[in-house]
A and B are shown apart, each in its own frame.
Chain A
Amino acid sequence: MSSVIPNPDPIGLPAPAWLLQILLVLTFVLHLLAMNLLVGGVVMMGIAHRKGKSSPFYAKLAERLSMALPPSMAMTITLGIAPLLFLQVLFGQAFYTTSILMAWPWLAIIPLLIVSYYGLYIVQYRPEWLGNFRTAISWLSALIILFIGLLFTSNSVLIMDPSKWGPMYAQSDTGLRLEVASNGLWARYLHSIVAGFAISGLGLGWLARRYERDDAEWSREATVYGGKWFVNATLVNLVVGMWFLFSIPREIRMNFLGESMVDTGILWLGVLIALGAMHFAMKARVVPATLMAVATVALMAVSRHRLRAMFLDPDLDPTALKVSPQWDVFAVFVVLLLAGLVVVGWMLHKLAKGSENAASAPEG
């Protein structure tokens, strides 16, 4: 039913498709990293709150995570804006359509975000209000965040399958439907959530560094604990990843299994580097493990992008769209982005230096 695919926007792309695709994947990787820290971190905090009732290590872990999570949430949202912008430029024909098909669940993301975000803040600032409900509220935020992830995966999967669109709209034009029975949806969803568990393990390694001076023992223990999260989650994800791979229809899957050298290379290089990251994570060497894990996330994001292109070919091909470049405005964007990043770096540097000088426990 490719006939329902909306016509491309007559205004055309404001830059060549390759540039927009690079920006899409690049900013999406940044979003993924922040999202991973949030998703894994919030589950880790839920567990730590529970275990913290009998163990000081977990009690401190819960408290320290509670301070790191609201900024992770802010970064996840902020860094998610840019890829969504470029997605709308390149794949708007698909994105607006599928969002409308699942309009209410899609719109529910907004109030759900607000509730879970305030949940995180209450856990951080007013644990005394919550008393015994603190664990429950952290889990509530965690479950909401995990559900939001499912909504995003559902839309991403629906985008790739235009044959479903027409029949879905024929069943409901009020946007009440949520597609969760698609082939491969759950494998794909689990793959990204488990990646969150892994990356947040390394994130904990970085958080632990902040307490190296004042609470060395906890810091060491937390680094090892985080390493375990990374290793175990990555092991699980190797299996989930295989499930995901084999849920893809054969003619597309084979591109990643030798038919296309580029796609096969990108995917399996990512897997290989993940194995290297596991090696360093086991030794609690956070820096090399993180660098390799970030490389894996980036390669996986490229594979994901290529996978979508394969599914949508030839119905929707961004490289075939009309281009009316706006290079002057693009130049302004690049200059401002670079300047902005310098300023952001300066502020974070000042704050980090300030924390070293002040007592390391941040005030609430």
Chain B
Amino acid sequence: MNFPFWDVPLIGGGMLIGIIAIVHVFVAYLAVGGGLYLVLTERKALRTGDTALLESVKRHSRFFVLVTLVFGAVTGVGIWWTIGLVSPSATSSLIHIFVWGWAIEWVFFLLEIVAAFCYYYGWNRLDSKTHQQIGWIYFVGAYMSLVVINGILAFMLTTGSWEPGDSFWKAYFNPSMFPSLLIRTGVCIAMAGVFALITGSSEGEPELRARVTKWAARWILAGMSIVPLAGLWYIASLPPLAREISMGGAPAVTLFAGMSIGLSLLILAAAFFGPFLFPKSFHVTGAFFIATLALSVTGVTEWVREAVRKPWVIYDEMYSNSVRKDEVARNRSGYIDQTKWALLSTEDRADPQKLGERMFRFQCQSCHTINGFNGIKPMVKGWRKDFLDYQLQHLDELKGFMPPFMGNDEERAALVEFLYNLNRPKEETLVFRHP
């Protein structure tokens, strides 16, 4: 680890990224798909001379701007903030490999923001042709920003045959880039429908409410219909280990992958039997129910995508604990020497407990807390020292989703000592106090 490690108590850094990323992705899907929804609904209203629908789109666009430009945009920056704090080495790698990609993303983002303002402020100021053109510009900007970021995200899981020194394009057009883009495109369309259901079903006039609700439900059905095939293509593009983890290799991940499919089917059913078949009696509570399902499915799916990447943060390139593949050998002869931020005095280094604590912080804490999420203390409870040592020596063989232990014999012994003591001293005190 090249940087200081930020200790996030209880939940751990990974969970922190997860929380921010999930709410962002949820709204970002709306920002992309909703752009298409706005401009196509505006066109539909103009072509059919439906002024009530046009007014409804206008109202929806304010809601859209307030949700996407503020919450969507700022939480997007928030992910960038958080990954830099939690995984600085991986962030630095992605920034260096893709800097012009990020710069291109920024251009589309700028276009998207300016277009959103012009579209929103332009309702009464621009002729309808120009207004629609700006709507299209918004959608293209938003969609292209998805295209760019999707390539980078996909790269983290499927680096393919890319090696350091290879071209940007090879990294960007990686094996899961297109299937993942197709899935996300479908989800964007569906999410536009989900949010349109919320504003649509809150319309006061019953006839208009039914029309918008049904129209929104069609978007959900259309978007979701893309997902299954795209999903199969996506799974086929994954590395074998990742596929294995999602299909039984790690029960929790398999469970979540199953939930992702189950919740998606539930959304499909809810949209079909609710607003699509019975738009007149559809209530805004139902819209929030579907939105909650959509948030949940976004959450579990993104979680699975992160989980199957283990033990890597950038597949086959950098382990979750920020050690590059080509650094493993060097670390085996002495990890702490390579860890500038261990900041151990010579005296402290000789103390196994202190050395072990540092080993744990820099090599394990990227995924494990002590007492909280994925907490190590309950996991190693009752383990004898020789068993701990055996586990550490064969970590990657025993647990496929973990990196190998990296360090020399002295460091491994220190980590064993630290892990062993996690459960020991407290129990002894306990017994001592309450005989």
Contacts and interface: CB of A to CB of B under 8 A. Distances in A.
Interface of A: 3-7, 9-15, 71, 74-75, 77-79, 81-82, 84-86, 88-89, 92, 95-97, 99-101, 103, 106-107, 109-110, 113-114, 117-118, 121, 165-166, 169-170, 173-175, 324, 326, 328-330, 332-333, 336-337, 340, 343-344, 347-348, 350-351, 354-355, 357-358, 362-363
Given A14-B100, A74-B113, A358-B124, A7 B2 contact: yes
Interface stretch (B161-169, B200-208, B302-310): B161-169
A149 B69 CA distance: 21
A4 B343 contact: yes
A94 to B, nearest CB: 10
B272 interface: no
Contacts of A81: 77, 106, 109
Given A96-B84, A96-B92, A107-B85, A351 B122 contact: yes
Contacts, number: 194
A333 B104 contact: yes
A9 B92 contact: yes
Given A6-B3, A11-B97, A175-B7, 9 more contacts: A14-B96, A14-B100, A79-B110, A99-B81, A110-B74, A110-B78, A173-B5, A337-B107, A351-B126
Contacts of B324: 10
Nearest to A96: B88
Contact of B124 (A75, A165, A363): A363
B6 A329 contact: no
Interface in B325-377: 340-341, 343, 361
Contacts of A5: 340
B321 interface: no
Contact of A340 (B4, B92, B111, B134): B111
A354 B361 CA distance: 59
A4 B342 CA distance: 9
B interface residue count range (under 10 / 10 to 19 / 20 to 34 / 35 or more): 35 or more
Contacts of B85: 96, 99-100, 103, 106-107, 175
12 contacts: A74-B73, A82-B106, A85-B95, A99-B81, A113-B74, A118-B66, A166-B343, A174-B9, A336-B107, A336-B108, A337-B103, A363-B124
A70 to B, nearest CB: 8
A329 B99 CA distance: 9
Nearest to A6: B2
The B interface, classified by DSSP as helix, strand, loop or mixed, is: helix
Nearest to B8: A174
The A interface, classified by DSSP as helix, strand, loop or mixed, is: helix
Contact of A336 (B4, B73, B104, B118): B104
A128 to B, nearest CB: 16
A58 B86 CA distance: 46
Contacts of A3: 340
Interface string B115-130: 1011001111111001
Nearest to B78: A110
Contacts of B75: 110, 114
Interface string B1-18: 011111111000000000
B371 to A, nearest CB: 14
